[in-house]
Amino acid sequence: MKVKRIIKTSLLYILKFLGVFKLCRYLTGNSIRIVGYHYVSIHDEHTRFPSLFLDKASFERRLEFINKKFKVITLNEAVNQIESRSIKRNQVVLTFDDGLYNFKKSAVPLLRKHRNPATLYVVSDYMLSGLPVVTMILRDILLKTNLTKLTTEFYTLETPVIISAAEGQRKFLDWAVRFSDGLKGKESKLSFIKEVSDLLGVNSDQIIANRYWHAVSVNEVVKLADDGFDIQPHGHKHTDVLGAVSDVRANIETCINNLELLTQKPARDYCYPVGLWSKAVWPLLEQLGVRSSVTTLNGPNFVETPLYALRRIMDGEDRTQLEFEFEMSFLKWMIRLPFSPSLLYQPSEKLVSYKTSGKGF
Ligand SMILES: [Zn+2]
The three-state (H, E, C) secondary structure of 205-250, written as one string:
HHHHHCCCCEECCHHHHHHHHHCCCEEEECCCCCCCCCCCHHHHHH
Residues 314-352: tens digit of each pLDDT = 999 999 999 999 999 999 999 988 888 777 776 667 665
Task: Give distance in angstroms: CA of 297 to centre of ligand 1.
Answer: 14
Q: Distance from the CA of 210 to the center of ligand 1, in angstroms?
A: 21
What is the distance between the alpha carbons of residues 327 and 294, in angstroms, rounded to a whole number? 17
What's the start-to-end Cα distance of the chain, in Å?
Answer: 25
In the reported structure, the alpha carbon of residue 98 is separated from the centroid of ligand 1 by a whole-number distance in angstroms of 5
Question: What's the gap in Å between 99 CA and the centre of ligand 1?
Answer: 9
Instruction: Using the mean position of ligand 1's atoms as its centre, give its distance from the Cα of residue 4 in Å.
Output: 30
What's the gap in Å between 231 CA and the centre of ligand 1? 14
Q: What is the pLDDT of residue 346?
A: 67
pLDDT at 358: 35
Q: Cα of 355 to ligand 1 centre, how many Å? A: 15
Question: In this structure, what are the phi and psi dihedrals at residue 97, rounded to the nearest 5 degrees?
Answer: -90, 150
Q: Is 312 a residue whose pLDDT tops 70?
A: yes
Please answer whether residues 255 and 143 qualify as being in contact, where contact means their C-beta atoms are separated by less than 8 angstroms.
Answer: no
pLDDT of residue 347: 64
Report d(CA 314, CA 334) in Å as an integer: 17
The pLDDT value given to residue 355: 36
CA nearest 322: which of 11, 95, 44?
A: 11
Report how far ligand 1's centroid is from the alpha carbon of 133 (Å): 11
Task: Give distance in angstroms: CA of 20 to centre of ligand 1.
Answer: 33
pLDDT at 69 over 60: yes
253 Cα to the center of ligand 1, angstroms? 17
The whole-number pLDDT of residue 359 equals: 38
* Residue 349 DSSP label: P
Q: Compute CA distances 211 → 101, 137, 215, whole Å.
A: 7, 10, 8
Per-residue pLDDT, averaged over 121-129, amounts to: 97
Nearest to 134 by CA among 199, 197, 201: 197
Q: How far is the CA of 67 from the centre of ligand 1 (A)?
A: 26
Of the two residues 33 and 357, the one the predictor is more confident about is 33
Instruction: Provide the pLDDT confidence category of residue 356 given band limits of 50, 70 and 90.
Output: very low
Please report how many Cα atoms fall inside a 13 Å half-sphere around the Cα of residue 72, on the Cβ side: 18
274 Cα: distance to centroid of ligand 1 (angstroms):
5
pLDDT at 101 over 70: yes
For residue 81, what pLDDT band results from cuts at 50, 70 and 90? very high
HSE at residue 142, side-chain half, CA atoms within 13 A, is 26
Output 345 or 73, whichever has higher pLDDT. Answer: 73
Question: How close is the Cα of 97 to the center of ligand 1, in Å?
Answer: 5
pLDDT given for residue 338 in this prediction: 85
Does 357 score more than 70 pLDDT?
no
Distance 160 CA to ligand 1 centre (A): 32
% of the chain with per-residue pLDDT over 90: 80
Q: Which of 105-109, 182-186, 249-253, 357-361 has the lowest mean pLDDT?
A: 357-361
CA–CA separation, 60 vs 62, rounded Å? Answer: 5
Q: Compute the distance from residue 361 Cα to the ligand 1 centre, in Å.
A: 5
CB atoms within 10 A of CB 118: 21
> What is the distance of C-alpha 143 from the center of its chain?
20
Do residues 114 and 107 lie in contact, with contact meaning Cβ atoms separated by under 8 Å? no
How far, in Å, is the centroid of ligand 1 from the Cα of 34?
A: 16
**Cα 224 to Cα 91: distance, rounded to the nearest angstrom:** 23
Report the pLDDT averaged over residues 239-245.
93
Per residue in 246-305, pLDDT (tens digit) is: 999 999 999 999 999 999 999 999 999 998 999 999 999 999 999 999 999 899 999 999
Distance 170 CA to ligand 1 centre (A): 20
* 304 DSSP assignment: T
The pLDDT of residue 147: 87
pLDDT in tens, 207-236: 999 999 999 999 999 999 999 999 999 999
